[in-house]
Structure 1
Amino acid sequence: MATSVSDFIIDRLIEWGLHQWYGFPGDGIGGFDGAMGRAQRDGKDFNYIRPTHEEEAAFMATAHAKFSGGVGVCISTSGPGAIHMMNGLYDAKGDNTPVVAIVGQQARVSLGTEFQQEINLERMFADAAVFVQTVATPMHAQLVLDKAVRMAKAYRGPAVVVLPADIQTMEMEEPTVEHFVSRSGIGFAEDRLRPDDDALARAAQVLNDGEKVAMLVGQGAIGATDEVLAVADRLGAGVITTLLGKQVVPGDVPYHTQQLGLLGSRPSYDMIQKCDTLLMVGTNYPYGEFMPPTGQARAVQIDLSPRHLGIRYPTESNLWGDAKTTLAALLPHLDQHSTQWQQKIAAQQRDWMKENTRVAETEADPINPRSVYVSLNEKLPDNAIITADAGSTADWYGFHIELGPNQMGNLSGRMASMLAAMPYAIAGKFAHPDRPVVCTIGDGAFQMMGMNGMLTVKRHWKEWETPSFIVLVIDNGDLNQVSWEMREAGDPRWDTAQMVEPMDYAGYAEMLGLKGVRVEETGDIGPAFDEAFAADRPVIIDMKCDRNTPPLPAHIALAQAQGLAESLLSGDPEMGRVVNQSSRAAAARLFARMGLTPDE
């Protein structure tokens, strides 16, 4: 049987080392689907997972790239299937993650004729993708696919190959030696870029002159933990990680103050406000209100993407290179600094974590969600993967989860998309089937598409090396983050929009043949995690939580406080409970700072 264009693309993806694919079938990609079926029957080296929705497939491809360090692959049909993928591909764009999307299209003769399910895919994907190209002829397929993989890797974003239906089943043609025809190959170039010595010396001069150095470290430094810590120790610096860079620095490093901003710590805020020098590594942190005032701090930035250099804060020195190689090359140029500033930061962080624990211990009705994450942080296995959804689950993840050196954590960053925690967790499990995985997700996001994800778990969990897969549903009957954002804007909680329909999440797990655990008392939190981690199958933990526990940031702006007061005085239906819980949290922090217990 002759090799079709689809057969060629399948083999080429495998040659590129891309073996894990997520997709959803349809007639617009039917020829490619048929070729995948033949390839699977022939024992070719790929694993195709079909979730219940193309959006999930795109999120899974993004998460696979994040958790594996490789390139994600997703596949969809034309028209509506392609449209469904957009959110997940924008997630890849926003978080600088390489993904290749193979997208079906109607036959070439129908393009531009408003045929059924025919839309201009190149125009639609243009904003989301670093590369998008329709395969025009069989001979064209090799170059388009090879360039898509290279562009995704080089520019760290989604690249889209549009595959018309008639092209999919045509016999593959090798590129010929003639004008207009390019003949491409496979293989990634080494991306260990290193700035020259003069650039390193200039950056070192800025850093050596500093007395209070703060390091802001993002996901671009994943894999450079040793180098980050070596530079921090040489500079006597405190280290802040972004939410996506949380796993770069272990939580037990005393001068690691975790995150900055709305989901950050007070020591991080204070460090930024008092530093005289800022070293940014592998981050495109966008929240200018939490950065030093202009002119306060001299700044150096290291990034593999030159387009990110110097766009978030005025920098004196920009180092274009990957974090690991650049930090290692920079280290010999750095003077040994005093540890006085670093020790002060470490002491502040110790006090802050004590405060956080005290706040998590405050009474709630029924359960304080902070206490759930404090317990989870203690129970996580050393090699666990954890995902968080958008909303208050991301707050609690940022405030209370301190990742160990062998743990991994991730979420939808720039897009902050609801529902992403579930496909992220599933992709994390396929990337590392021997690791325990914990998905933390709100009840609203679980109802949005997390329920669908559990069907994928049901179908595949017996294929994993270990069945340990836990879905922690924060069941508070509320789209909680939005409720608090409305309050901070001066608007009372609006039940019509904010209420989440009650559901038996543990019962849903049992219906699927999985394990369900329901928790309604604080004392049962720890035992529930013990039971879930010991289970012989995936588990849903239905955690009944208080929706009025405030996810307030470490530093509250006057406008936020005024908005909250206005919302409560404007008829917020939960006013009494909000005031009660907020007062308890404030009192707990005050007692912790004074070294007192509530009884004193």
Structure 2
Amino acid sequence: MPADMTRIASEELIERLAAWGVDTVYGLPGDGINGIMEGLRRHADRVRFVLVHHEEAAAFMAAAHAKATGRIGVCLATSGPGGIHLLNGLYDAKLDHQPVLAITGQQETSVLGTGYQQEVNLEQLYADVAEYNLTVTNPAQLPGVVDIAIRTAYARRGVAHLCLPNDVQVADADADPFQHVAPARPPATAPIYLPAPGRPREEDLRAAAEVLDAGTRIAILAGAGALHAREEVLAVAEKLGAPVIKTLPGKAVIPDDSPYAVGGIGLLGTRPGEELVEDCDTLLMVGTNFPYTKHLPEPGKTRVVQIEADPARAGVRMPTQVPMIGDAREALAALLPLLTRHEDRGHLAKYQKAMAGWREDMAALESAGRHPIAPQYLMSVVDRAAADDAILTCDSGTIATWAARHWTIRGDRRFYLSGNLASMAPGLPYAIAVQHAFPGRQVIAYIGDGGFAMLMAEFLTAARHRLPVKVVINNNDSLGQILWEQMVLGYPEHGVRFGEPASDFSGWARSCGAYGRKITDPGEVDAAVREALAYDGPALLDVAVNPDEPPMPGKVSYEQAKKFAQAFLKGQPRKASIATTLFKDKLSQFGR
């Protein structure tokens, strides 16, 4: 730094982030963070700034970075509207329990409270989303509060927020204008975070083993908290003879072709998964606090053991005989030697047979001969062509159903989506962040046309950074999930189809200097997918799929069928096309 260049407080902020191992900040500049941007410029060799086109995307990228790497994600936005725009992505991190630090700007401290332009009380606005939430009013607070914010984000698996007014950002880094007490400055050594011990108490482990050993029809429900515990989950499943159900965020816990895998649970799950929930007498929940209680066993009919990292969430979904607090991998490793091997494999064999039938049913829907293009076929082509260590990011909507059932976890594949928030639009920002984190991996964003349109400018971000992300748009020119939800409620669809002219995003991709291609013919899908995956740079396929393909639940209830029929009777506008598609689906399955 030149001798005449004063070291500013924003440099203290960036240097402390770097000390924590932060190497990337996602954000959008503005006059409320010019000082922080200068701090980033002065330390660009240590922390990379990734310029996005919308702050919501920056927050989604920070959340995806945390999900994919386990390290804190950082996003940056200006005062007022910039800070407001971050919120959706931050709630995604909060609800999926990911460590994220949001940094925002603010007007000068001398004008706060006067109704100055873009003055929004961001600390108050972030009160619900943030576990740690502070407006920095004295440069001497840095870097101490950076340490506290990051440790809190890690410890509580959530969002931390630091808001820096403009005058604080550019103040002398060593300034302490009030000097009431000496600032709490951390030591010069590299900061560390010490996680709580992950092994549950011995008495809880013994109690859990007793419940599990007494079970005769045991099931394991594994979630995102067990993504790092694949071998341990499989070992416990083998010892108990227990089929494994996976939540959607936990899809990559074990391979989909494992003899213990029975797919998912809930509306996007499998028929064997739903039947197993109703049939099991003992349930081991690992790394999940599955929120949709109507898809869990009926209270009182099943004995439950839960391994949960957060004491506040243990046992909140259903009556739980043994709630254990700890890390999934450490807890399972400690539990395994206490379990007795279950020699009777009849229960497991029953669901292995059911799962084989389900896989055949799904394969029957992956027909290249159907026109319009079946979304199941599109996803199956991507699945077959992608690498064994590919990472798929997925948006919310009907596409999550197709990904859940037709994207196969094998090898070191991964899968990320907005879990509990189930927001539209994160698929593309997720892919960009994951590609930054893993530049050597194949990263594919599988997105609906509705979600892509929301943040499509970020494809230009990918092109400018020459990130080789591959975007596959499942384009039905509608808000497909809402369409089917309306019908399941017994209402004919309304306000969910975009209409003419049909959208074509391939031109946008080409205008960004990337690969772009529109596909309407099923015969072109396979070659186009392979060409896009092989392209040296960002690529986008806009695939026109059947808009009348319903994402049917794995197991259709009588009430769901009745409401669906009522929608037809009340005047569903496309009932003929929908009925034809359903008929073709069943015909494909009967003909397998």
**TM-score, structure 2 length as denominator?**
0.95
CA distance, structure 2, for counterparts of residue 498 and residue 308 of structure 1:
41
CA-based RMSD of the aligned residues comes to: 1.8
Alignment correspondent of 1:329? 334
Q: Aligned match of 1:12 in 16, 24, 36?
A: 16
Matches within 5 A, 1:166-177: 166-173=167-174
CA distance, structure 1, for counterparts of residue 58 and residue 465 of structure 2:
15
Alignment correspondent of 1:398? 404
Change (3 A) 1:303 1:142: same
- CA deviation vs aligned residue, 1:229-260 (integer Å, no higher than 9, x gap): 11111111010111111111111202211210
Q: Which AA in structure 2 matches 1:36? A: L
DSSP-derived class of the 2:465 partner? helix
Cα deviation, residue 502, structure 1: 2.1
Matches within 5 A, 1:104-253: 104-173=105-174, 179=181, 181-184=183-186, 186-253=191-258
Alignment correspondent of 2:426? 420
Q: Which AA in structure 2 matches 1:24? A: L
Change (3 A) 1:496 1:220: closer
DSSP-derived class of the 2:312 partner? helix
- CA deviation vs aligned residue, 1:35-80 (integer Å, no higher than 9, x gap): 211222xxx3111101101000000000011111111000110100
1:298 matched to 2:299? The reply is no
- CA deviation vs aligned residue, 1:532-588 (integer Å, no higher than 9, x gap): 122122211111100101101011222322221122222222110011112222344
Matches within 5 A, 1:384-395: 384-395=390-401
Cα deviation, residue 495, structure 1: 4.8
1:574 matched to 2:574? The reply is yes
CA distance, structure 1, for counterparts of residue 495 and residue 249 of structure 2:
32
CA distance, structure 2, for counterparts of residue 527 and residue 394 of structure 1:
23
Alignment correspondent of 1:513? 513
Contact 1:362/1:584, CA 8 A, preserved across alignment: no
Contact 1:249/1:405, CA 8 A, preserved across alignment: no
CA distance, structure 2, for counterparts of residue 537 and residue 136 of structure 1:
44
- CA deviation vs aligned residue, 1:477-534 (integer Å, no higher than 9, x gap): 1111111111111221225765485232222222222112222222222212211122
Contact 2:368/2:523, CA 8 A, preserved across alignment: no
Q: Which AA in structure 2 matches 1:396? A: W
Alignment correspondent of 1:381? 387
- CA deviation vs aligned residue, 1:446-499 (integer Å, no higher than 9, x gap): 1121x21111011001xx5xx3x2110112111111111111112212257654
CA distance, structure 2, for counterparts of residue 254 and residue 518 of structure 1:
38
Alignment correspondent of 1:278? 283
Alignment correspondent of 2:28? 24
- CA deviation vs aligned residue, 1:69-110 (integer Å, no higher than 9, x gap): 111000110100000000000000010000011110111122
DSSP-derived class of the 1:215 partner? strand
Alignment correspondent of 1:539? 539
Contact 2:368/2:522, CA 8 A, preserved across alignment: no
Q: Which AA in structure 2 matches 1:300? A: V
Contact 1:364/1:581, CA 8 A, preserved across alignment: no
Contact 1:254/1:350, CA 8 A, preserved across alignment: no
Alignment correspondent of 2:585? 585
CA distance, structure 1, for counterparts of residue 186 and residue 278 of structure 2:
51
Q: Which AA in structure 2 matches 1:542? A: D
Contact 1:470/1:540, CA 8 A, preserved across alignment: yes
Larger mean CA deviation between 86-95 and 129-138 belongs to 129-138
Larger mean CA deviation between 489-498 and 264-273 belongs to 489-498
Cα deviation, residue 362, structure 1: 8.4
Larger mean CA deviation between 142-151 and 555-564 belongs to 555-564
CA distance, structure 2, for counterparts of residue 233 and residue 52 of structure 1:
48
DSSP-derived class of the 1:530 partner? helix
Q: Which AA in structure 1 matches 2:281? A: D
CA distance, structure 2, for counterparts of residue 239 and residue 496 of structure 1:
36
- CA deviation vs aligned residue, 1:207-241 (integer Å, no higher than 9, x gap): 11011111110111111111111111111101011
Contact 1:217/1:241, CA 8 A, preserved across alignment: yes
Larger mean CA deviation between 59-68 and 133-142 belongs to 133-142
CA distance, structure 1, for counterparts of residue 209 and residue 174 of structure 2:
54
Alignment correspondent of 1:264? 269
CA distance, structure 2, for counterparts of residue 439 and residue 168 of structure 1:
37
Cα deviation, residue 143, structure 1: 2.2
CA distance, structure 2, for counterparts of residue 437 and residue 7 of structure 1:
33
CA distance, structure 2, for counterparts of residue 535 and residue 578 of structure 1:
36
Alignment correspondent of 1:348? 354
Change (3 A) 1:519 1:300: same
- CA deviation vs aligned residue, 1:97-140 (integer Å, no higher than 9, x gap): 00011110111122222211111111100111111011121111
Which structure is higher in helix share?
1
- CA deviation vs aligned residue, 1:412-446 (integer Å, no higher than 9, x gap): 11111111100001111001011111101111111
DSSP-derived class of the 2:75 partner? strand
CA distance, structure 2, for counterparts of residue 17 and residue 191 of structure 1:
20
Q: Which AA in structure 2 matches 1:27? A: D
Contact 1:107/1:165, CA 8 A, preserved across alignment: yes
Where does the alignment leave 5 or more consecutive residues of structure 2 unmatched?
Answer: none
Change (3 A) 1:499 1:489: farther
CA distance, structure 1, for counterparts of residue 375 and residue 63 of structure 2:
28
Change (3 A) 1:481 1:19: same
CA distance, structure 2, for counterparts of residue 191 and residue 351 of structure 1:
43
1:86 matched to 2:91? The reply is no
CA distance, structure 2, for counterparts of residue 442 and residue 319 of structure 1:
39
Cα deviation, residue 180, structure 1: 7.3
Alignment correspondent of 1:557? 557
Q: Which AA in structure 2 matches 1:258? A: G
Cα deviation, residue 31, structure 1: 0.8
Larger mean CA deviation between 491-500 and 192-201 belongs to 491-500
DSSP-derived class of the 1:123 partner? helix
Cα deviation, residue 197, structure 1: 1.4
DSSP-derived class of the 1:74 partner? strand
Cα deviation, residue 190, structure 1: 3.4
Alignment correspondent of 2:494? 494
DSSP-derived class of the 1:387 partner? strand
Alignment correspondent of 2:54? 53
Q: Which AA in structure 2 matches 1:112? A: G
Cα deviation, residue 177, structure 1: 11
**TM-score, structure 1 length as denominator?**
0.94
- Percent of aligned pairs with the same amino acid: 39
Alignment correspondent of 1:435? 441
Equivalent residues, number: 583
Contact 1:133/1:160, CA 8 A, preserved across alignment: yes
Contact 1:443/1:500, CA 8 A, preserved across alignment: no
Change (3 A) 1:167 1:383: same
Q: Which AA in structure 2 matches 1:240? A: I
Alignment correspondent of 1:320? 325
Q: Which AA in structure 2 matches 1:82? A: G
CA distance, structure 2, for counterparts of residue 501 and residue 217 of structure 1:
44
